[in-house]
Chains A and B, each alone.
Chain A
């Protein structure tokens, strides 16, 4: 059974760095074809893809946010960590992690975490 769970601070101050952890079970990020992504959703708005990390440590980032984002993995702990620097109130959102599965030529989301709401306010 695949599960993912996000954890991190509920409140951060402007200019601070946000660190979020995705802890997963039911699969290993050392297995070929496994990937984990982060996605966020501001209140009442659409989903926005942030970053992805693959089993072979390849990393991909949102064009508009790549200077602020870092994604990493700890395979032994079954965790993926996302850091976002210089937080601003517009970064207030629910942050989700999700698994990406390779099937043929397709790398698609299948399982999602429940999400964690991060509010940026002084």
Chain B
């Protein structure tokens, strides 16, 4: 199975900040990577697929990059509604696997 490792596990930031979350795959996955946002008690929301393509309706403040084994999710100009847990997921091969999550908290 491909292991996905996110860093950091938690992150404190202020409204207006720009933050970057990193996801590393244990082997190359080309650009078969997605990002999700999850708020407490809610289902995940799909943000990005193909490493950098925004899902419909997702604001452009979210951006993704990377290929192979190293990927990033960047959120610009943080707003209160952006504080949540973020997960990466590879779909290059079965079984699909998720990262352990990055909790983004308000400083």
Contact B46 A112 (CB under 8 A): yes
B32 touches A61 (CB 8 A): no
> Does A60 belong to the interface (CB within 8 Å)?
yes
Say yes or no for B81: interface residue by CB 8 A criterion: no
A112, A114, A115: most-surrounded residue (chain B CB, <10 A): A112
The bracket for how many chain B residues form the interface is 20 to 34
B interface, over-half SS:
loop
Verify if A77 is at the interface (C-beta below 8 Å from B).
Answer: no
A109 on the B face (CB < 8 A): yes
**Interface size counted on chain A using CB atoms at 8 A:** 25
Beta-carbon contact of B98 and A109 below 8 Å:
no
Complex: chain B residue closest to A110, CB-CB: B46
CA distance A65 to B94 in the complex (A): 13
User: Known: A46-B87, A47-B89, A63-B1. Is A108-B98 also a contact (CB below 8 A)?
Assistant: no
